[in-house]
Amino acid sequence: MSDQFVWHEVETKYRETRETKHGEELRWLVNREKILNKATGRIANRGTIRHPGVCVIAPFVDDDHIALMRQYRYAADVELWELPAGTLNGREENQRMIATETPEECAARELSEETGYEAEVLEKVCECYAMPGVSDEIIHVFFARGLKRREQSLDDDEIIVEIRAFGMEELEGMIGRREIRDAKTLVGLFYALSQRPGGLRIG
Per residue in 62-115, pLDDT (tens digit) is: 999 999 999 999 999 999 999 999 999 999 999 999 999 999 999 999 999 999
**Could you tell me the pLDDT band of residue 203, with boundaries at 50, 70 and 90?**
low
| CB of 165 closer than 8 Å to CB of 58 | no
**24 or 57: which carries more pLDDT confidence?**
57
**19 or 107: which carries more pLDDT confidence?**
107
**Could you tell me the pLDDT band of residue 23, with boundaries at 50, 70 and 90?**
confident
d(CA 32, CA 11) in angstroms, rounded, equals 5
**Could you tell me the pLDDT band of residue 1, with boundaries at 50, 70 and 90?**
low
Mean pLDDT of the chain: 95
Give yes or no for residue 178 having a pLDDT over 80.
yes
d(CA 42, CA 115) in angstroms, rounded, equals 49
**Per-state percent for the chain, helix, strand, coil, to nearest 5:** 15, 55, 30
d(CA 92, CA 98) in angstroms, rounded, equals 6
pLDDT at 19: 84
> What's domain 52-194's superfamily in CATH?
Nucleoside Triphosphate Pyrophosphohydrolase (3.90.79.10)
**Could you tell me the pLDDT band of residue 49, with boundaries at 50, 70 and 90?**
very high
pLDDT at 156: 84
Sign of the torsion formed by the C-alpha atoms of 19, 24, 25 and 27:
positive
Arithmetic mean of pLDDT, 175-202: 93
pLDDT digits (tens, 9 = 90+) for 108-150: 999 999 999 999 999 999 999 999 999 999 999 999 999 999 9
pTM for the whole thing?
Answer: 0.94
The helix or strand, by DSSP H or E, that contains position 161, with its residue range, turns out to be: strand 160-167
pLDDT at 30: 98
**Cβ-based neighbours of 52, under 8 Å, separated by 6 or more:** 27, 28, 87, 88, 89, 90, 97, 98, 99, 100
